[in-house]
Each structure stands twice: as C-alpha cells, then as structure tokens.
A and B are shown apart, each in its own frame.
Chain A
Amino acid sequence: MTLTSILAWLNAAVTFGTIIMLGSVGEILTEKSGNLNLGVPGIMYLGAIGALAGAFFYENGNPAPVPFVSMCISLVCALIASGLGGLLYCFMTVTLRANQNVTGLTLTIFGSGVANFFGGSLVKLSGGVGQISVAAASSAYRAQIPVLSTKLGIFSTIFFNYGFLTYAAILIALGAGFFLNRTRAGLNLRAVGENPATADAAGINVTKYKYLATTIGAMFEGLGGVYYVMDYIKGTWDTGGGIEALGWLAVALVIFTSWKPISAIWGSFVFGICYWVYLYIPANISAVLAKLCGNANPSHMQNLYRMIPYLVTIVILIFVSKRKRRENRNPQSLGISYFREER
C-alpha cells in the first residue's frame, strides 16, 4: 500500500468520523439525562434537510449567492430543525410520558421520511427541474484553513485537510467532556440520569435538565447531518439511506466510548478507519480471502468487508459486557422515564 492511499484512507476516516462523532456526543449528552433517544438517525436527517433547504431557498434564483451567508442560513435552519426534533422527543417522553424506545424509533421513521421526501422533491415543489444542489454553501463548509492546509506538507494532508466542522466537532466533544466532568451543571445532569428521584429531592429541576440536554444534544446530532450533506456528499441529496446507517453507528459509538465524550473523538476515527477498510484491503490478501469463501469473485468480497465496523462493534459490546466495570456502565435510569408521583 502506498503512502498516498494511506493518507487518503486517513482523510476519509476523519471525514466519516466527524459525522458520527457529532451524533454520538449529542447522544451522550442526551443519555446522561436518562433519555435513550433512538431517534438519532431521524434527528440527523432533520438537521441535514434543514441545512439543505435553508441554503436552497437562499441560493435558488439568486444569481450570485455569497457562500458565507448561505452557510450561516443553513446552519441556523439545521439547528432549528434538529432542535425541534429533540423537543418533540422530549415532549413525547417527558411531558406525555410515552415509551422512550418507541418514540425514538418513530422519530427516526418520521425524520427519514421528511428528509428524503423534501430532499427528493424540493426542486420540484419550487417549480424547477433536476437534482438539488447548493454549491455555494457546500464550498463554504468545505473551505480549508489557508496556509496551514497547504504549506506544511504531509502534516497539512493529515491534519488540515478538512472543513471547519471537523474542528468544531472536536471542540464540541472536548467542551461536552469538560461540561460533564468539571461543572456544577454537568454534575447535576449526571445526577438526573443516574437517579432522578434523588436529584429531584436535592432541588434539581429534572424536567428542565432533560429538556435542555436532549434538545442541545439533538442540535449536535443535527450538525452531524449538516456535515454529511454539505461536506461528505457536497451539497446534494441521496435517498439511499446513508444517514440512517451513520446514525445507528453514532448510537453504537456511545456504548463503545462508555458515555465519555472525549473517547468519542478517537473512537469515531477508529470507526471511520473500519468503515473504509473495504477500499484499502490489498488485492493479494483479498484474493486469498476470496478463495477461503468458496472461490468467490474477489470483487464481490467488498460486500463482506463492509461488515467490519458492525462486527467490531459487536465484539467490543461483548467484551465490555464481559468485564462489567462500574465506571463503564450506562446511566442508571437510562430508558426509564421519571414521574415524581410514581416513585
């Protein structure tokens, strides 16, 4: 394997990892409040379509769209759309006391429906033809840091080859780690997730913490969707269900990191490497493996290599559950809604 292809692999892994890092940091915040939100794919979808729609309405019919303005509009729209998704989840589970898993799955169906419907029909609904494309916004998202991204040779290729959201994601993960472990509000949030009755007795407003953590978490997840649509697929839309698989991987990463936002940084890059490994398995190894699989055509083996991230997750899941370390466990009240009068 050449150096160039290793570098390409690393770049692809970081780009991929950024999406699920944002998703899983958002979900860690959410789960720390005791809400198990299985709507992550749906919320990422909502963020993605929010960004796309915002940029589209600004750029459509505008002869000279300013990339930066388009980017800001799409960011705001994405945060609103994904925040509303988080609010809907909270309203259903905290206020209306619905089952968390079912609400989350419904949100995933709903979000994927909204996003794929409008992603496919937005152009048509506004009277145009062809595929949706927001080139200006996408170029702003993909803009790289000047000087740093060109002048440092291999160092630039590895570390400065990405749009700003990659660095924002790392900062968000670091910030979330600091918030959870070093601040009073973070301590309160963890108390809510571990034992809401005790937190309530100590005067912590459980409902407020659940709403805020879930909604802000949802906004981070939405940013993951923005990164997918603006950077990963460059300001277009594909109805192939790509975000859904990434959303579930983000949920898996939460357990993989044992609810630590800082571990999500390297964890997501490891997932990225696993995800892209199928493109970088050398031909001679692939030929041997194909022989082992009953003389399969080596070009078909890619389908099997693409299982790797999921198999790795499963193995880690088993390993973690076998060790049963206390600090690696989920928040104690995860998945259980809290009602003061039903203790």
Chain B
Amino acid sequence: MRNKYDKPHDSVKEPLIHLVRRVDIPASKAWMIRIICVLLGMLVCALFIMSITSLNPVSVYASMFSGAFGTPRRIWQTLKDMAILLCIGIGLAPAFKLRFWNVGAEGQVLIGGLVCAAWMITMGGKLPNALMLVLMAVTAMLASALWGLIPAYFKSKYRTNETLFTLMMNYVALQLVEFFVDVWDKKQSHSVGIINGDTQSGWMPSLFGQQFAPAVLIVGALTIGMYFYLKNSKQGFEITVAGESENTARYAGISVSKVILRTMAISAAICGLAGFLEVSCVSHTISSLTAGGRGFTAIIVAWLGKFNPIAMTLITAILSFLSRGANQIASDFNFNTYASSILTGIILFFILASEFFINYRLVFRSKKGKERAE
C-alpha cells in the first residue's frame, strides 16, 4: 500500500531554479568562473563609458590601456597605485582573518603619514637622510599600531563593536591631520604643499632612476612575508583558529584577547607603513586626502582575495588598471575622476557575484527532473 508520503506532491510546485552546493570544484573551473565574471564586469564598464562618451568598446579599452600602461611613467604610476592599495590590503588581511572588522585603515594610514610629515617638517635637514627614513618608518608604524590598539583593547575587554569604533577613529584622525596642516601651513592656504622640496630631506631615494621603485619593492617583500606569516607561522595559525571559532581557540589554550591585540597592532602598523610610503616615497605631502578612500577599497581587496596575498595582488592589479584607465578617459573628456569609483563598484559587484557561482550550481526545473521525482 502506498502511504501519503509516496504520492507525488501535486500541490507543491517545484521551483523553477534550485541551488545545489558544489562540494569540490576544481581550481581551474573556479578561476574560469572568476575570469568570466570579471570580463562581464569589464563589458558593463565599457557600456557605461560608451553611454557617456562617443567611444566604441574597443576604443574605450584602448584608451584605458594607454592611460594605465601607455608610457613607462604611466606603468610606474599604476604600479605605485597597486603597491599602496596592496600594502593596506596586506595590513588588513590578518585582522579580517581574525574576523576583526578593522574599518579604520583610512585613519591608520593618515596617522602614519602624519607622523612622517611631522619628522620631515620639524627635523628636515637636521639629520642624515638614512637615519631620518628609519626613524620615520619606525615611528609611523608605532603610532599607527597604538592607534589601532585602542579599539582592539576595548574589543577584547568589553566586546565593544569594532566596526563602528574604527570607523569613528577615521574621522578623529582626519581632523587631527587637518589641525596639523593648519598649524604647519605658514601661508594660510590649508595645505602644507610639497614638504622639503629643496632639501629632499625625508624623501625616499629613487631606485634605478624610478621614484616609486622602493615602494613597489617594499610592498612586494611584505606581501611574500605576510603569505608565510599567515600560512606557516604559529601566530598565523592562532589567527585562523580564533577567527573561525573563539570557543575552539579558548579550548586549545589560545588567549583570544592577546591574539586580538597582537593582530590588530600588526595590522595597523602595516597600514601606518602604507602612510609612510605614501608621504615619503609618493606624494611628499600630507592632507586629508592622503588615504583617499583606499582604506575602504582595501577591505574589499582583502576579503575578496580570501586573505591570500597572491589573489589580493591580482585584484589590486585589476582595480589599479581600472582607476588609471578611467582617469585617462575622464581627463580626455573633461569629466571628474569619480568615474573610476563607478567602474570599481561595478567590477567588485561582479567579483562578489562570482563567488556565488563558484559555491553553487543552478539546477533548472525540467521535464526529466519531474519524471525522476515520480
């Protein structure tokens, strides 16, 4: 006798699409999906630019390519953009792996940059440049680490919401920078201009005749170092465990609050280093725009790259190309540079969506499926 559970469910309609979780997807297929999504995103970007300019899709990308890689100088500019963004992302990776939402990179970069600018303005020309650079880098990292330790301390002690805490610290840092800019500015122009333009004291020397080469090299080394720190060191393992489950970590004898404080100090210190590189090697000035929103973009870089420094490098490469390219188009057609934020947003949405298609398979309702069910 058939009981009621054997009957086909006539009343329940099978949904048009249902999701099946993919258990093991080969790495090659996952990368195929990612590449297709990025290409689709680039297509949408091209459509957007077409709609506001008279360019066709090919000339859009030709013009963007020339903006990012057209001359050696432009290539170095793109590499420099990549290096600073990647540096911040590398700094955020350990914090986010711990599930500590450090939204305060913006402020940590500014504090690092502010300390460097303070050295350059007050001690410019009074110390040998090599000593000056070492002092700048060390104090910038220390100051930023302290800045980052404040929310970490309250998080570990009272479980204070770190997302908001670090976010608010950004604005405090921003006002601190504006205050010192006004203090140091002798011309009442709300800007300190290029610091030590004549003596070049506190400027990173150029390598192989390239101004940005030292920043690129330092960040490259840092990226490799972070890869091994997260993957092979005891501390990296502790971050992984405490990030996945605090209870497991506690059970294994890991002091979670110690891990929070240590990781956040490292994270903020690297963001401070990014501030040092920006001030000493790239712009030689400090302003409220020194971080320029990259503290937020870097969060997305770290998260989408799954804290894997190699994947993060690829994402920063795409983003830096898009923003340089968009700026080229903006200057060709006399638009403002926010076009690059639009393109960044579009491409990030597509990369975010790609994760869904990697993790799930869509199964459509079909006649065959229905027969099998019966």
A residues near B, CB below 8 A? 38, 88, 92, 96-99, 101-103, 105-114, 116-117, 120-121, 124-125, 239, 245, 248, 251-252, 255, 296-297, 299-301, 303-304, 306-307, 310-311, 313-314, 317-318, 321-322, 324, 330, 341-342
Contacts and interface: CB of A to CB of B under 8 A. Distances in A.
Contact of A303 (B182, B293, B296): B182
A109 B101 CA distance: 18
A318 B169 CA distance: 13
A99 B352 CA distance: 8
A97 B356 contact: yes
A255 B303 CA distance: 24
Interface stretch (B192-200, B256-264, B268-276, B334-342): B334-342
Interface in B167-183: 167-169, 171-172, 175-176, 178-179, 182-183
B345 A113 contact: yes
A300 B179 contact: yes
A105 B336 CA distance: 22
A271 B192 CA distance: 31
What 7 pairs across the A-B complex have the smallest Cβ distances?
Answer: A110-B345, A113-B341, A303-B179, A113-B342, A116-B338, A321-B160, A117-B338
A332 B101 CA distance: 17
Given A300-B183, A303-B178, 14 more contacts: A38-B163, A98-B356, A101-B299, A102-B299, A102-B303, A109-B344, A110-B341, A111-B345, A116-B336, A120-B338, A297-B183, A300-B179, A321-B159, A321-B161
Given A120-B336, A239-B338, A313-B168, A99 B345 contact: no
A304 B179 CA distance: 6
A96 B182 CA distance: 47
B300 A102 contact: yes
Contacts of A106: 300, 345, 348-349, 352
B165 interface: yes
Given A120-B336, A124-B334, A310 B344 contact: no
B352 A109 contact: no
A92 B349 contact: yes
A248 B101 CA distance: 15
A127 to B, nearest CB: 13
B353 interface: yes
A110 B338 contact: no
B69 interface: no
Interface in B63-116: 101
Given A117-B339, A297-B183, A251 B164 contact: yes
A255 B164 contact: yes
A252 B341 CA distance: 24
A317 B335 contact: no
Contacts of B163: 38, 101
B48 to A, nearest CB: 10
B40 to A, nearest CB: 14
Interface residues of B, number: 49
Contact of B336 (A239, A251, A301): A239
Contacts of B344: 109-110, 113
A124 B340 CA distance: 18
A102 B175 contact: no
25 contacts: A38-B163, A92-B349, A92-B353, A98-B355, A98-B356, A101-B303, A109-B341, A109-B344, A109-B345, A113-B340, A113-B344, A114-B345, A116-B336, A121-B335, A125-B52, A251-B164, A251-B167, A252-B164, A297-B182, A300-B182, A303-B178, A304-B176, A310-B169, A317-B168, A321-B160
B25 to A, nearest CB: 15
Given A105-B300, A255-B161, A321 B359 contact: no
B171 A245 contact: yes
A113 B336 CA distance: 10
B227 interface: no
A109 B161 contact: no
B171 A307 contact: yes
B346 interface: yes
B296 A109 contact: yes
Contacts of A98: 352-353, 355-356
A248 B167 contact: yes
